[in-house]
Copies of this chain bind each other. A is one copy, B any other.
Amino acid sequence: MTIAVLFGGSSYEHEISIVSAITMKKVFKHNQLKFIFVDSNRAFYAIDSNNMKSKYFASGEYTKAKKLSLDSKGFSFSTFLGSKTFDCDVFLNLIHGRDGEDAKIASLMEFYGLPYISPRIEASVMSYNKLYTKHFARELGVMTLEYQHLHKNDKRELRLELPVIVKPSRLGSSIGVSIVKTQEALDYALDVAFELDSDVIIEPFVEGIKEYNLAGTKTDRWELSLVEEPQKEAFLDFDKKYMDFARDTQVLQASIDESLKAKLHESFKRIYDPLFLGSIIRCDFFVVDDNVYLNEINPIPGSMGNYLFDDFEAMVERLAHHLPQEKPIAISYQYIHSIQQAKGKA
């Protein structure tokens, strides 16, 4: 099948989306990949596979690529005689952060009736905003660490004990995240986070807390990845995360017992089904005293978490055949017709 990877976007994670997309070239071996770049002005470009090199984008050379337009007939490009459809079987949304994870790309795909692998609109909003993730998890009975939400206009009174971790509500890839150990550092950390977002989540920072990542999807069956214990040095900064997005070799299963594994699987499934149908997500969990806490949902994980799966490519193919479909709505104008009739105007 032909899979079109959407990447770039008007996002703080624009560059790591490019890295993720380049990684896909190595990961897909049997299917044809096409690439659609969304530049910072939200223009779409069809990128030749040979040009999938980071420098091509950083240098602005991409502006020489074919520009695509998008409407209810899908993506197309201008030709000498008119326009030609950009053909593919499915789109893979690989835009990290804004545009890709905040429901914009999902909305475009849905509005124009294109088949796509990505969290849908509601799933995007519930996972992109960490505050909503907390509410959502709680409603499902999945535990999260305690937290405090601050809006930029709120008084900066800390309810939690130090040390804490301060995160902008809506960004990924550790951007704007600080570990705060002293009261003096708090203000600066909040300034940094509020520079990026109107809302901030503050959580207790637990040194050495056990962390496990689990990715997955649901096709005609559950397809869960192995459980990874991510490498941690306090926490990954953006540079390290950046390199992390280029991963394409499989990792080792964390050494955990079957009972903990079952708990992680159970929590993942509860979060995933049915809201995240159509997507491949990664859930990052904390484990304290054998209890599982949801840390974050990664709605569009770096390089799609390919390195966590046995056969990532075959799974994507299966998912492409099990995507949620928007319900068709027949519009008959029966009310207008009946009112016209009542008025004698039919």
Contact = CB atoms under 8 A, between A and B. Distances in A.
Interface stretch (A39-47, A256-264, A284-292): A39-47
Interface stretch (A7-15, A183-191, A227-235, A297-305): A7-15
Number of copies: 2
Contact of A42 (B69, B72, B151): B72
A199 B112 CA distance: 24
A122 B129 contact: yes
Contacts of A139: 135
Contacts of A69: 69, 71
A331 interface: yes
Contacts of A98: 329
B151 A274 contact: yes
A193 to B, nearest CB: 13
A113 B99 CA distance: 12
A156 B42 CA distance: 45
Give the contact-size bracket for chain A: 35 or more
B329 A55 contact: no
A144 B268 CA distance: 29
Contacts of A10: 329, 331
Nearest to A152: B274
Given A18-B336, A103-B125, 11 more contacts: A10-B331, A12-B329, A14-B329, A15-B331, A15-B335, A57-B336, A58-B337, A58-B340, A103-B121, A104-B107, A239-B335
5 contacts: A58-B333, A102-B121, A103-B107, A125-B126, A153-B274
The 8 closest A-B pairs by CB, nearest first: A107-B107, A58-B333, A58-B336, A125-B125, A40-B331, A54-B336, A42-B72, A104-B107
